[in-house]
Structure 1
Amino acid sequence: MNSARLLSRSMDGPDPGEAVLQPSPRSPRRRMTLILLATILALIGAVSAGYYFAMRPVTLKIAVGPQTGDDYKLIQALAQVFARERNTVRLRPVVTDGPAASAVALKSGTVDLAVIRGDLPVPKVAQSVAVLHKNVAVLWALASAEQKAKRKSGKSSAIAGITDLAGKRVGVVGRTEANAGLLGVILQQYGVDPAKVQSIALPAGEVAEAVRSRKVDALLAAGPLNSKTIADAVLATAHTGREPVFLSVDSAEALAANHPSYEATSIPAGAFGGAPVRPDNEIKTVSFSHYIVARDGASDTTIATFTEQLFTARQIVMSEVPLAAKIETPDTDKDAVIPVQPGAAAYVDGEERSFLDRYSDLIWFSLMGLSLIGSAGAWFASYLRKDERTSTAAQRQRLLDMLATARRCSSAEELDTMQTEADAILRDTLDAYENGAIDSAALTAFSIALEQFHNAVADRKLLLSDASPLPPVRGARPQAV
């Protein structure tokens, strides 16, 4: 006996005087389903929001200056490429007066990145991300054609080496005071008291006039080998009629050993072009690096992504800013002058974490959360159905009690009342089965009890009908005795 048959039999139509059944209120199962659905949607929304916040573009402020310098032009070009390519990490340049001011901005925490010089004091919070470029020190004296000829014959008293700069005037090309400090380091390496050498700051545009008016005896410039500033300064010197005589820093290795922020290097012949070729021979000198550094505490994941974008964009920016070709990976050794940022080191060493590596914990905990929510929901649903199961068991027992009562009942009206109650019990039981409060085995047991009840009612009604006296016939006269 299935539930459909029972429902059909019970709902064939109410007996006269049977109460009309009202529709049941929203079932607990439906309420539980709505609660679970709302919880799942809320969790999906939370995960989606977390993914959005994890993957939305991150803007890093980078201090760089001065605005007229090559470093600023390069960083500005990189920022434009990052924005155009819709990269995950974006750059916002913050203009400063120079590398020293950029270092101060990083130390104060107002920026996330900074372009600094390696030969200047490095903030303790700085961690290297990339070498933006390396600058070489170019030192040359000024000589007339006659002095140059005498120098070759060994009879000239002109400047032939760094030790000859004592008592001379050296023009330091550029607006930064850091190059004057570089000159002092070189002089000290050769035992020349920097106080005995007059240092004169010269903007790049005033080099020719200073040479022509004999305001300086030698010049110092620092920048990349392909720097237009150095090439223009050397060319301006030659155009004044005073030939540049390049001074070699032969003690470059010893200087680098004493000052780890410098490296020994050389300037190849013809590096600055011109006719005749300048210089005509390879010149030993020292170099120092301009770094992109990050503030200690920056996200390793963000810096790793930035480093990857930086070396990818380098190829694009090179056509616009040739200086981009000089960008190099940082030194990842533990004894590096500036400690490397862990995210940048992971990129350089090929240990950058993938998306799954970064967010595996989040994904795992999300799955665990879904599992726990599902288990909790199932328990809660079972808890809500506890009363319903208890009620169904009580109604089944009531049906069995009515079965026994029906077999002894002496009134058809009482049987009709019990039939009406049985119909209500049937409705509640089917609702409980639909809601999952009872299983098919319980429904089968109820079906058997209901079948027996219907049979008992039918049998009792038939018995009562046969036992009742016949009604008198109308118009019939009583027979005489």
Structure 2
Amino acid sequence: MRAEVPTSAPDDRRSRPTFLNSNRRQVILFAVLTLLLSFATVWGGRIWLRNSETLTFAVGESSGPEAHFAARLAAMLKATSSRLHIKIIRNADNAKALAQFDHKQADLAVLRTDARIPPRARSLAILEHDLLMLISPGDKKIRSLAELKKKKIALLTNGNNLAFVRNVLEIPDKADANARLQLAPLNSMVDKLFASGGYGAVIAVDHASAIVRDKRFEQSARRAPFTVNAIDEATALSRRYPGMSEETLATGLLSSSPQIPDDDIDTVGLQWLLVGQAALAANTAGELARTIYENKAELALDDGFASKIEPADVDKSAFVAAHQGVAEYINDTSRSFLDRYSDLLYLSVAVLGVIGSLFATLYTKVTRVAPEKAGELATEILDIGERVAHVQTSEALDGLQDELESVLRGAVIGLRDGTISSDGLDTFKLGYEFVRDEIGMRRESLKRQSGRDDVVIVKTAQSA
């Protein structure tokens, strides 16, 4: 009697499209999510930074030009929808405002170059020039400052410029010097000072923008001519007093008819600077400077202050060094794309690496469908081997042989496409060789058993 050993159904597990597609879809999905989240993170951070920066501006008394300029700057930034905002911190005077700036309690301040310059102050823009004008009556010219030592001088300016004039004239701060240098009322006319005060010279100090708008000089010149004298010692004075600068009085600055001065002449002056903390971010300082330079008209005060805003002096020898961000903006003529956006690119790479690492960890540890180990297929092979001993026909043995080859074929395909790992491959090979040899031995056994059966049948027939 021949026993038939049923063969198992074909193993559909070898075709693993679900397995492969699942992992491949996950890899593609995580790659796309990495790019999207990196882009969203960097862009969101950039937007957040662009909309969240407030600069504190320390100013002096509310009626001063510093406070008025700060208010104009705040209004202009708001009107232009800038990401920068100004918070004004008011003080009793500008000296206290500069002290506050010096203690890092404010980001911005306005100072004149004869003030004590905080060591961390960096120039953002030149707001105004104060010019010194040496005036003599009629056509009398003053050849040098030494000629003024024996003259009575009227000072046509406010008291804040007294120390500046003393430095120019090298007059010590003594009581006897006050008789020579007398502070005249602010609204005094030059011709009346010469006519009634017995002055040999008048020194006027004012903002350049105010001088252009002041019609009193032209009115005085029409009644009684006067001369504005060049200061030949301007270069020496600017070197002796670092905060002092060489300036030029342009032709016709004081009066167009008659023309005073009748030619460009040299003089000395002081500068009003908008300064920021050295620690202010370069892109912030550069953006603020750019916005100021592009919106000068909106920042000019009613009295003319800051009507001729100039870029900060980026020369290394400047009395107050320009902020790095401002210098980069002013000198920015050929920066490449990488130079402009290197910080953003570096940030993007860093964010991409972090998010990519997180998703890679999530995929490998949690969501990835792990491939079947080759060693686990040995159980299936041994199951085939256990059935070999019960096979009674060559046809059934051929079925087991085909089943064994099917397992081998599936293992090879799985190792190729990644659905089966090489873990336990030696065990699989050993099991395959053992069952293959067992099938071979069982086949030989069946052949010998079949031969004996034929002999018995022949002998029985002969006996009959």
TM-score, structure 2 as length reference = 0.63
Pick from 276, 279, 290 the counterpart of residue 297 of structure 1.
Answer: 279
Shift of 1:344: 1.2
Please, what is the CA RMSD of the aligned residues? Answer: 5.1
Query: Is 2:119 the counterpart of 1:124?
Result: yes
Tell me, yes or no, if the aligned pair for 1:131 and 1:328 is still in contact at 8 Å.
yes
Whole-angstrom CA distance in 2 between matches of 1:252 and 1:194: 27
Whole-angstrom CA distance in 2 between matches of 1:380 and 1:254: 76
Shift of 1:346: 0.9
Quick one: structure 1 residues 221 and 133, their matched pair in 2 at CA, closer, same or farther if it must change by over 3 Å? same
Query: Is 2:272 the counterpart of 1:310?
Result: no
Query: Is 2:204 the counterpart of 1:234?
Result: no
Whole-angstrom CA distance in 2 between matches of 1:111 and 1:203: 36
Quick one: structure 1 residues 128 and 207, their matched pair in 2 at CA, closer, same or farther if it must change by over 3 Å? same
Please give the secondary structure, in 1, of the residue aligned with 2:246: strand
Whole-angstrom CA distance in 2 between matches of 1:167 and 1:319: 37
Tell me, yes or no, if the aligned pair for 1:61 and 1:93 is still in contact at 8 Å.
yes
Query: Is 2:76 the counterpart of 1:81?
Result: yes
Pick from 50, 63, 68 the counterpart of residue 45 of structure 2.
Answer: 50
Quick one: structure 1 residues 229 and 44, their matched pair in 2 at CA, closer, same or farther if it must change by over 3 Å? closer
- 5+ long unaligned stretches in structure 1: 8-27, 409-432, 441-481
Query: Is 2:118 the counterpart of 1:136?
Result: no
Matches within 5 A, 1:155-166: 163-164=147-148, 166=150
Tell me, yes or no, if the aligned pair for 2:210 and 2:304 is still in contact at 8 Å.
no
Whole-angstrom CA distance in 1 between matches of 2:190 and 2:45: 61
Shift of 1:135: 2.2
Aligned equivalent of 2:453: none
Shift of 1:107: 0.8
Pick from 42, 60, 68 the counterpart of residue 55 of structure 2.
Answer: 60
Question: Does 252-261 or 203-212 show the bigger shift?
Answer: 203-212
Tell me, yes or no, if the aligned pair for 1:162 and 1:247 is still in contact at 8 Å.
no
Quick one: structure 1 residues 173 and 271, their matched pair in 2 at CA, closer, same or farther if it must change by over 3 Å? same
Shift of 1:303: 0.8
Shift of 1:281: 5.4
AA matched with 1:168: K
Please give the secondary structure, in 1, of the residue aligned with 2:85: strand
AA matched with 1:104: A
Pick from 103, 108, 111 the counterpart of residue 103 of structure 2.
Answer: 108
Aligned equivalent of 1:362: 347
Shift of 1:375: 2.5
Please give the secondary structure, in 2, of the residue aligned with 1:181: helix
Shift of 1:389: 4.4
Quick one: structure 1 residues 105 and 53, their matched pair in 2 at CA, closer, same or farther if it must change by over 3 Å? same
Shift of 1:53: 2.7
Whole-angstrom CA distance in 1 between matches of 2:154 and 2:206: 17
Pick from 316, 320, 343 the counterpart of residue 334 of structure 1.
Answer: 316
AA matched with 1:231: D
Tell me, yes or no, if the aligned pair for 1:204 and 1:229 is still in contact at 8 Å.
no
Please give the secondary structure, in 1, of the residue aligned with 2:75: helix
Tell me, yes or no, if the aligned pair for 2:72 and 2:298 is still in contact at 8 Å.
no
Query: Is 2:327 the counterpart of 1:345?
Result: yes
Aligned equivalent of 1:173: 157
Please give the secondary structure, in 2, of the residue aligned with 1:326: coil
AA matched with 1:63: A
Shift of 1:395: 9.7
Q: Percent identical across equivalent pairs?
A: 17
Tell me, yes or no, if the aligned pair for 1:62 and 1:112 is still in contact at 8 Å.
yes
Aligned equivalent of 1:196: 177
Question: Does 65-74 or 113-122 show the bigger shift?
Answer: 65-74
- The Cα offsets for residues 314-368 of structure 1, whole Å up to 9 and x where unpaired, read as 2665698865552222232323212221111111221778652221210111122
Question: Does 54-63 or 363-372 show the bigger shift?
Answer: 54-63
Whole-angstrom CA distance in 2 between matches of 1:106 and 1:192: 29
Whole-angstrom CA distance in 2 between matches of 1:97 and 1:162: 39
Please give the secondary structure, in 2, of the residue aligned with 1:338: coil
TM-score, structure 1 as length reference = 0.61
Whole-angstrom CA distance in 1 between matches of 2:214 and 2:126: 22
Shift of 1:207: 6.5
Please give the secondary structure, in 2, of the residue aligned with 1:344: helix
Quick one: structure 1 residues 329 and 47, their matched pair in 2 at CA, closer, same or farther if it must change by over 3 Å? closer
Matches within 5 A, 1:369-384: 369-381=354-366
Whole-angstrom CA distance in 2 between matches of 1:348 and 1:403: 85
Quick one: structure 1 residues 92 and 207, their matched pair in 2 at CA, closer, same or farther if it must change by over 3 Å? farther
Quick one: structure 1 residues 286 and 299, their matched pair in 2 at CA, closer, same or farther if it must change by over 3 Å? same
Tell me, yes or no, if the aligned pair for 1:128 and 1:338 is still in contact at 8 Å.
yes
Aligned equivalent of 1:468: none
AA matched with 2:205: A
- The Cα offsets for residues 110-140 of structure 1, whole Å up to 9 and x where unpaired, read as 2112211122221111112222232211233
Please give the secondary structure, in 1, of the residue aligned with 2:231: coil
